[in-house]
Structure formats: structure tokens, C-alpha cells
Amino acid sequence: MSHMEKIRVLVADDEYWSRENLRNLLPWGDYGMEFLEPACDGEEVLERMAQEHPDILLTDINMPFMDGLELLSRMQTEYSEVVTVAVSGYDDFEKVKGTFLSGGIDYLLKPVGREDLEQVIRKIMDILEKRRKQKEREDRTASVLSDGAFSALLNNQLYGREYTVDGFDSQMSGNTVALIKYYDIADITEKSDHDILQAAWDIKQKLLQECLEKEKIQVFHYTQKMSEFIMVGNSDHQRVQEFAHRVEEAFPVEQYGPVSVVLYQNDRQSEENIWKNLGKIYRELISVLVLRPFRRVHSIQFCTETDAINQRMTPKSMHSRMDEEMLRYLREGQNGSIQKLIFETMGLEKCVEAGWTYLEVKQLIGRINNVFYAYVRKERPQFQNLMEESMETADYYLKCLNARELMVTLNIMLESMSEKEDQRQSDSVPDLMDQIHRHIEENYPENITLTELAEKYHLDASHLSRTFSRTYGESVIAFLTRIRMEKAAELMKEADRKLEAIAFLVGYDDYHYFSRVFRKKMGISPSEYRNKNVQH
């Protein structure tokens, strides 16, 4: 029984007035309950069980055909999940004892009064709530184990290893796979007190209850990419489209941020078991995902649409010419010309309005980074750390579909490299920088951006970045990354914490990205660090 559904109450009594008394004693709807049409005897109750699925049964002891004690005994054997209460006009100890031996939780004497009935109902509600929480804990545990096994299966296929996983049931046939990706997963988990396991459970339940029809479907949380969920099942083309639109409705952008749904279907009867091709299918889904609009809106895509999407391709000769021009401007210190080239000529400033895909933006940022990095490494090595941090930051904002922060990052990088030494020695604002420093230390798991910091502390983003770097000898992003890695290293000493969960706890929803950053900062991989430092 879902806690969102009404609790269903069935009364069995051969006396009309007794049935009506119980119907009218309480405002059942105020208790979140639905009072079903009463039954006249035990046989009628058993006939109706399969259709009406009551959660509570209040039954008279003395009824024709099948008395209350026999009914209670049958209920305990055949429908043990139903909470049962006996009602009788006889204050007889043997019948009271029989009630409890037959599985009833309480005993009411006729005529039943409101206070006595309320007391029993409160007791029943406590029982049902404890059962619900226990079942949710059990279901959540099973869900986590299933997600882990699924993720291991998919990872093994993706990396070319043996993909048999003990304890994982992959026998269900299917012709449909859907990738559901959330871009603001860190914000979504705030609804679950930053508990990724609870958040994953909540999202899965929402997908199953609000987005899928009653059919044999499996939904998994891909633990290597905290923001991704995979649905596997059988659906025709129309139902698949309906599913995608229900996801859009169930997860509004205003509350959950943008969501992508990428759908794969194979109706060929001769196709191998879909699980054996899951790695290949996942790669196809990801290859389509990068063609979604670079906008913070929902997106629905089909794998069959890959060839139908026409990208705005710039000739390679023009790429080369603009890259050479960018390099020349860098050498000449023409910051304004570089900005005009990137944001206006190359079109990055209007990428959202022009309908660019994620891939188009990623490719352009990659070209810009390559030119900048080559210039810095050869001619201004003192900015190499800044360049690497900016590249990592730009990559992060790409993943979030955040065009605004992406352009802020590029501007700050340009302005920092074009600073004169006398500018770099200007007065700072120590007290304000100290506040920002503490804010980052206290809120490191959150999505901290320069723009938001600048707005919060009423500073220009570029000025904030320069002043923070002068004050502490490292950039905002470098400090944030260092704090996250130090916290992650501390958490890794606890053997019972999964590395994927640790990555999320310190602000990363992509474990592979976290692992890359951790290795760069700490010199070894997360798993190697844990093996050396875990507390046994």
C-alpha cells in the first residue's frame, strides 16, 4: 500500500444497524481512510478480498455461515497483511482470547462508542505506518543492491570485461531502454537532506508511480553517474512517447531543473537479449544525448534521430583562421578583440538563442581551451594552474547547461591573463574575502559559482576572483576543489562509505569526473587512496 493512497476499511456484521453505526461514528475521510460498503457475513468478506483489497477489517464475532473467529483465522492465513479487529456484544474472555489467537489486534464491545473506535483506529494507523516504513526500508535496500548490480553489469560491458554479475536478474525481456538524466541533481537531493540514496529512491518511485503504466518495467540508478537513471522494459512507440511526456510533467523545470529523456527501441524479434547489448545501447543513448539543445529546458530524443539532426558546421579552414587570430590577439594582449572574436564572431554569446546543441558548445569551448592552453604553456607558464582550473570549471558548467557561468568563466580567465603587475598588487578587501572563504568552507558540497558569490557579496565577479587569488594565493575554484578533495579523503577512511556516495557528498554527481580531479590533486586514484588509508 502506498502511503499516498487512502486506507481501505471493511466492516462485516449481519446486523444492519451495527454496520451503519460503524459507518457514521467517524469522519473516515479525515483519517485518510475510505469506508467500503460493509459485508453481511464472513463468506462475503472472502469473496470481496481479491477485488477490494481492504487494509483494515472490523468483524462481528457472531455471524451466520462463517463466524468472526473463523473469518479471523482465515484472514491470518490468507491475508495476513490486513489488520483485523473483532466486534461483539458478549464480554466473554474465551472469545477475547480467541480473537488474539486468530490474529486480531484488538476487541470492541457493542455498542461501539466513538472514543473506543478512535483509540483502536489510532493503534491501527501506528501499525500501518510502522509496516509502511519497514517495507520502504526493505524496498530501498533491495533497490540500492539492484542499482549496484546493474551499474556493475553496465560498467563491465562498457570497459570490455566479463559482464556476468552474481545476484543480478537480467532475464526479463525488453525492447525499450530509456536514459533519464537530471542536470540539477545536487539541488534535487536537498529535498532528501543531501542523501543521494534517499534521493535516488524518491526519483525512482516518482518515475514508477507517475510516469509508467502498469507493466513489467525495471528502473535503475546508475551509480557511476549520480544524475542518470535507466529504464528497461517493453513498450510500443506511442507508449514510449507518452512516458517521455509524463517525465516532463512529473519533473517541472522550475523545481527539478532540466531533464533529458533519450529513448531506444528495437522491435526486431531476432534481437539478442537486451541485457547482452546494454553497453552498446548505452553508448548510443549517450551519443544522442550530446545533441540535446544547450538550454535549460526539458528534452526528448530518440536514438533514430541521430542522423536527422543537422549541426551548424564551420569549415575547417575557417576554424584554423579564427584560432590563429585568437592566438595573435593573446600575444598582443588585445583582450577586447579576443572577447569579440569568441562571443560575437564565433557566436558563443548567442548560443542559447541560436539553438546550439550541447556538442556544438562543447566543441567550441574545446577549441578555445586548446588555443589558450598552448599559448599559456609556451609563453606564460605562470598562468598554467589558472588555465587548468578554468578548463575544469568550464567543463563543469557545460555539464550543467549553464551558458551564463560558462561565459563568466571565460571572461575571468581572459581578464586574469591580461592583468598588469601593478593591477595585481592593488588593495584587497580582507574582511569580505574572509567571509567568502568561510562561506566556501561551510558550503563546499553545494553548486558554488563565481556569479552567485559576486551577487551575494555585491562584487564584480572578475574583481572577486582576482582579489581572492591575491589574498589566499589560490583561486576560488582551486580552493573549492582543494576543500572538496580533503573532505573526500577524510571520508574515504570510513570503510563502509561507497566511493560514489563520497563523490556526491563533496559536490560531484559524476564519479568518473571526481576520480579524475582526485587523482590530479592527490596523486593517486580514490580506490588507491582508500586501500592505503582505510580504517579497519
- Structure confidence by residue, pLDDT tens digits, 112-144: 889 999 999 999 999 998 988 888 888 888 888
Residues 115 and 127 in one domain: yes
Q: What is the mean pLDDT of residues 193-198?
A: 79
Residues 34 and 52 in one domain: yes
| HEC readout, 154-206 | HHHHHCCCCCCCCCCCCCCCCCEEEEEEECCHHHHHHHHCCCHHHHHHHHHHH
Condensed to tens digits (0 to 9), the pLDDT of residues 356-395 reads 999 999 999 999 989 998 898 888 888 787 787 788 788 8
Q: 13: domain CATH number?
A: 3.40.50.2300
486 in any annotated domain: yes
Contact in structure between 387 and 371 (CB atoms under 8 Å): no
Average pLDDT taken over every residue of the chain: 83
Condensed to tens digits (0 to 9), the pLDDT of residues 462-471 reads 788 888 888 8
Condensed to tens digits (0 to 9), the pLDDT of residues 276-319 reads 888 889 999 999 999 999 999 999 999 864 443 444 555 555 67
Residue 250: give the domain boundaries.
171-308
User: Comparing 181 with 496, which gets the higher pLDDT?
Assistant: 181
> Which residue, 341, 349, 306, is CA-closest to 325?
341
Q: What is the mean pLDDT of residues 170-178?
A: 72
240 in any annotated domain: yes
Q: Give the pairing of strands 56-60 and 83-88.
A: parallel
Q: At what angle do helices 316-332 and 358-379 cross, to 10 degrees?
A: 40
Condensed to tens digits (0 to 9), the pLDDT of residues 326-365 reads 999 988 888 889 999 999 999 999 999 999 999 999 999 9
End residue of a domain, out of 260, 290, 308: 308
158 in any annotated domain: no
Residues 301 and 316 in one domain: no
376 in any annotated domain: yes
157 in any annotated domain: no
User: Comparing 212 with 264, which gets the higher pLDDT?
Assistant: 264
Condensed to tens digits (0 to 9), the pLDDT of residues 32-89 reads 999 999 999 999 999 999 899 999 999 988 888 888 888 988 998 899 899 999 888 7
What is the rounded (10 degree) CA torsion for 80, 81, 87, 91?
Answer: 60
Residues 176 and 287 in one domain: yes
Residues 401 and 491 in one domain: no
Q: What is the mean pLDDT of residues 417-435?
A: 61
Residues 94 and 187 in one domain: no
14 in any annotated domain: yes
Q: 218: domain CATH number?
A: 3.30.70
Q: List the single range of 39-53, 257-271, 478-492, 512-526 with lowest mean pLDDT.
A: 257-271
Condensed to tens digits (0 to 9), the pLDDT of residues 205-258 reads 999 888 887 667 789 999 888 899 999 887 777 888 889 999 999 999 999 999
Residues 276 and 197 in one domain: yes
138 in any annotated domain: no
Residues 176 and 304 in one domain: yes
End residue of a domain, out of 257, 289, 308: 308
End residue of a domain, out of 274, 308, 342: 308
**Per-residue pLDDT at 95 exceeds 90:** no
Residues 385 and 441 in one domain: no
Contact in structure between 465 and 450 (CB atoms under 8 Å): yes
**Per-residue pLDDT at 408 exceeds 70:** yes
Please report the pLDDT score of residue 418 as a whole number: 67
Residues 509 and 472 in one domain: yes
Residues 213 and 295 in one domain: yes
Residues 325 and 412 in one domain: yes
Q: 531: domain CATH number?
A: 1.10.10.60
Q: Side chain identity at 139, as an amino acid letter?
A: D
In the chain, the number of structural domains is 4
120 in any annotated domain: yes
